[in-house]
Structure 1
Amino acid sequence: MRVSYATLALGLLGLTGLFSSPAGAQEETRNPLDEIAPPAGPDGAAPEESLGLAATPPAPAGVTPRQTAEEIDRNFDKALDNYDDIIGSEKTAAVRNLEDRIAQNEKLLEKNQTELGRYRGAVRQIKIEYTRQLLNLKTSFRGGRIDEKTYEKKAKQLADEYVFKVKEVEKDIGFYKTESDATAARINTMQAEARFQRVAAGKDRAASKKKDEPNALESLVMELGAAHQLHLQDVWDEGDCRFCRVR
């Protein structure tokens, strides 16, 4: 007797049903992570406690993790502000110290320049005085009131006195000029340091942020750069096809 393929297939399905699980029973699903998860401790303890790990303490009641993070940020910012205040106070103290030293050196410079001017004036007075005496001596000689020998002797005396006095005064001039130059150099150095300290302390921060107005050449370069950028862009105007593409 010939058996059709359909009959054979139905028979196989019937045998399969005999060995299948009862109706309504579902196979238990397993999570692949369960195989690597640590076992629970005794009395249902959490896996962390069974491994000796401290569990994460819960946040205080009514405080969210976001609020906790914001509080940490505020405390950190406050600490930074305090640090900046301390550093700023030290820099400000350095500026005050420099300003005091500058003021003292400016007074010293004024004193040295006053003395320098006084001794330079003394040299001019010496020249005027001995020039007057020499003219009087020449007048006496030309008028015949003194002879040539007396004239030469007195003229030499006047010349020696003049040279000696001028040299003595010029020593003082050299001293006060050297002191004035050194004091002025110190003032310039301290003023430069004070400007640096002011910038570091933030006193000139606003001024340093202010941008200078561009000059004519810089303005032209900026305009040419903007025109070049526009030249490279595609401009689309649906209302007029003449401007569909501008290169």
Structure 2
Amino acid sequence: MRLPPQIDHELPWGYWLRLERSEGRPDLFFDPDGGEWNSLREAFWFGRLGMPAGDGGPHHDILEILLVILLNLSRANSSESELLFDAFGGNHAAARLFGLWMRSLGLIAPKSPGGSGLRSVTPEGWSAMLMLGATRPQPVRAMRPGGVSVRTLATIGMGPMNDDARMREIEEGSAGWPTAFQRRDVGKRFAIVLVKRDVDAPVPVARTAWSQTFTSERDRDMLYDWICRRVDRWEAWSDLAWGDGGAKLTSHLLSLVLLSEAG
């Protein structure tokens, strides 16, 4: 698929496609080469990624991994070892293959010419990240009171502010999400709780999926700040606690903290 000479990273990938609507048939997207696509994800999967047409794609599980990588690398505090553990379960070969594939596509690039290790997100990669988030077929799109975009996940709390201000912004901004980490004081103990709202239930009440208490407010806030810097992973961590129990999430977070500290 022919791409624009320069891609505006402020717009979702595929903004240059032409959408045609007519009665009696589904909407179609047309690319500059005359290709016809039923959706932006289909145009990206087949037209951009070059996937074979007979495999029934787009495969959303693969696109989800791609989105996770782009979101992770868009953070200022991205950690290669942390991404390896959190997204690939420690599988070095799979992580390296994904990284090389995304680099060959021009979605990510070395932070320095000829460099290795962590990459940075290119303008097309950022544009693809916005599109994949906006078209994501997941319950996260049903967040109340309004949808939480990938742009929000990638940038919330990332402005020039101190730790306290960043935590307050994220805490207040995530109050209506179906999944949110919150701070609470319980007597003389200080807690972090994971609140999950089952958006598919008849009455989507909020329930505590995980909690951790601390004797020191400072210790609690240090971990909460670490969690807030990774707001794009909250949904995945919530699924882990919801499906495998709070102890599994505690072990997972402890491993991630150690990996992030190790760099």
Q: TM-score, normalised by structure 2?
A: 0.16
Question: Greater helix percent: which structure?
Answer: 1
Question: Greater strand percent: which structure?
Answer: 2
Higher relative contact order (CA 8 A, sep 6+): 1
Which one has the largest radius of gyration? 1
